[in-house]
Amino acid sequence: MAHSPYFRIPELLMPAGNLHKVQVAYQFGADAVYCGVPRYSLRVRENEFRLHNLREAVELARHYNKKIYFTVNAIPRNSKIPGFDRYLDVMAELKPDALIMADPGLIYITRERHPNLPVHISVQTNTMNYAAVKFWQSIGAKRVILSREVTIAEVREIRERVPDMELEVFVHGSICIAHSGRCFMSNYFGNRDANQGACNNACRDEYKVFVANKRQNPELMELIETDEGTFLMNSKDLRAIEFLKDLADAGVDSIKVEGRTKNDYYVGMVARAYRRALDNLSAGKPFDRGLLAELDKVASRGYFSGFLTRGMEDRVPEPEREFQNIEDGSSRVQTRRYAGCVRYYDEQTGMIYFDVKTKIKVGDYVEVYRPDRFEPQILRICEIRRNQVLYDSISGGMGEVAVPVNEPLPQNSFLALIPSVESLSFVPEVAGR
The pLDDT value recorded for residue 430 is: 47
The pLDDT value recorded for residue 20 is: 97
The residue that leads in pLDDT, 423 or 34, is 34
Of 89, 43, 31, which Cα lies nearest the Cα of 261? 43
**pLDDT single digits (tens) 194-219:** 666 667 777 777 777 777 777 777 77
Q: Which residues of the chain form CATH 2.40.30.10?
A: 337-423
Question: Which of 11-25, 38-52, 177-191 bottoms out in mean pLDDT, i.e. has the lowest?
Answer: 177-191
Query: pLDDT band at 236, cuts 50/70/90?
Result: confident
Q: What is the pTM of this model?
A: 0.89
Query: pLDDT band at 329, cuts 50/70/90?
Result: low
CA-to-CA distance for 207 and 25, rounded, in angstroms? 36
The pLDDT value recorded for residue 2 is: 77
CA-to-CA distance for 239 and 304, rounded, in angstroms? 6
Question: Which of 4-8, 86-90, 124-128, 421-425 bottoms out in mean pLDDT, i.e. has the lowest?
Answer: 421-425
The pLDDT value recorded for residue 202 is: 76
CA-to-CA distance for 10 and 251, rounded, in angstroms? 8
The pLDDT value recorded for residue 226 is: 63
pLDDT of residue 80 exceeding 70, the answer is yes
Q: What is the CATH number of domain 11-178+234-321?
A: 3.20.20.70
CA-to-CA distance for 124 and 309, rounded, in angstroms? 21
| DSSP per residue, 179-213 | GGG---HHHHHHS--GGGT----GGGS-B-EEEEE
- Tell me the percentage of the chain whose pLDDT exceeds 70: 86
CATH H superfamily, domain 337-423: Translation factors (2.40.30.10)
Q: Which residues of the chain form CATH 3.20.20.70?
A: 11-178+234-321
